[in-house]
Amino acid sequence: SWTTGNVIDEQVAAIQAQVGTKRAICGLSGGVDSAVAAALVQKAIGSQLTCVYVDHGLMRQGETEQVEKDFVAATGVQLKVVDAQERFLAALAGVSDPEEKRKIIGREFIRVFEQAQAEIVAEAPGDQPVEFLVQGTLYPDVVESGGGSGTANIKSHHNVGGLPEDLEFQLIEPLRKLFKDEVRMVGQELGLPDEIVQRQPFPGPGLGIRIVGEVTKDRLDLLREADAIAREELTAAGLDREIWQCPVVLLADVRSVGVQGDGRTYGHPIVLRPVSSEDAMTADWSRLPYDVLARISTRITNEVADVNRVVLDITSKPPGTIEWE
């Protein structure tokens, strides 16, 4: 029968058999899945694991600091932080198509991991080779990327359909059969703190798939501000556990007319996409209190330059996916 204890024992044994005395790296995204995958692999192979956090510049405010602080404090894992902001921005320049963005981000992640692999080997030359890459892929990621049986490709999750063909790593994906609530239980059993295990989902490609249009540094900065305001107000209203997640999306290719002060503005809309869900396979739009929505709207239009309109997405999944891209 299914218990978190069984899942952990089984996976630990399988990982030990797969890796032997070699080494592995694990990409940390700041999210629940990669954190639980890393903790599970660390339990299996200890210091043969190095975690790699790729700062691709598509993160939300405070994300990088949180990984550096919370996750390392909870696990004591070896962490390598790679600043890859310019590399990702350059690769994404001129690209607006969502699937193309996802593939580029997936590919660049792998290139950065390969570079990290070389550096880890160079830092400890006599040691065993780094042959494995750990990913926190979940069952829904596999299904929706078209990896399950008889399913269409809905989107290429960056760590499934977005992998390059010439991948040099062997993959370890210990959560591949699990749903999010099960992953949270496994994380809890492994001793990870609530701040990590109960976090709302955030996609690996980050804000890169929350800008409808080309991804640029200025747009990322603007979206980061709007997102931070929405998160702050939702947290202050005590709604974090009630909401599955609330993507904040910048419609960079859309402009709308507004009036602020004495003048006409011609800015961009921000979309709020709060949803409730059990496993992200289906979702319903969250009926948030009007006063909370009002505060978010007022603050975003007052505080974020170039945004003159806030709209609420009231679409279920299906027919809409949770993310806009």
Across 189-306, the runs of DSSP E, i.e. the strands, are 248-250, 256-260, 263-272, 275-276, 284-285
Q: Output the CA torsion sign for 18, 23, 29, 32.
A: positive
Q: Which two tokens stand for residue 243?
A: 């909401």
Instruction: Name the one range near ligand XMP by CB under 6 A: 92-100, 154-162, 185-193, 259-267.
Output: 154-162
Residue 103 C-beta: closest distance to ligand XMP, Å: 10
What is the CB neighbour count within 10 angstroms for residue 165?
5
User: Is residue 78 involved in binding ligand XMP (CB under 6 A)?
Assistant: no
Contact track, ligand XMP, 229-258, x by CB under 6 A: ----------------x-------------
Residue from 56, 60, 107, 158 binding ligand XMP (CB under 6 A): 158
Quick check: helix, strand or coil at residue 174? coil
Let me know how many helices (H) and strands (E) the chain has, helices first. 11, 11
Considering only 27, 57, 203, 208, the residue that binds ligand XMP (CB under 6 A) is 203
Cβ proximity to ligand XMP, 218 vs 284, nearer residue: 284
Is 30 within any annotated ligand binding site? yes
From the list 27, 174, 205, 274, which residue makes contact with ligand XMP (rule: CB under 6 A)? 205
Instruction: Report the nearest approach of ligand XMP to the CB of residue 247 (Å).
Output: 7
Task: Report whether 153 contacts 161 (CB < 8 A).
Answer: yes
Please tell me whether residue 78 adopts helix, strand or coil conformation: strand
The count of chain residues that interact with ligand XMP, using the rule CB under 6 A, is: 15
33 assigned ligand-binding residue: yes
149 labelled binding-site residue: no
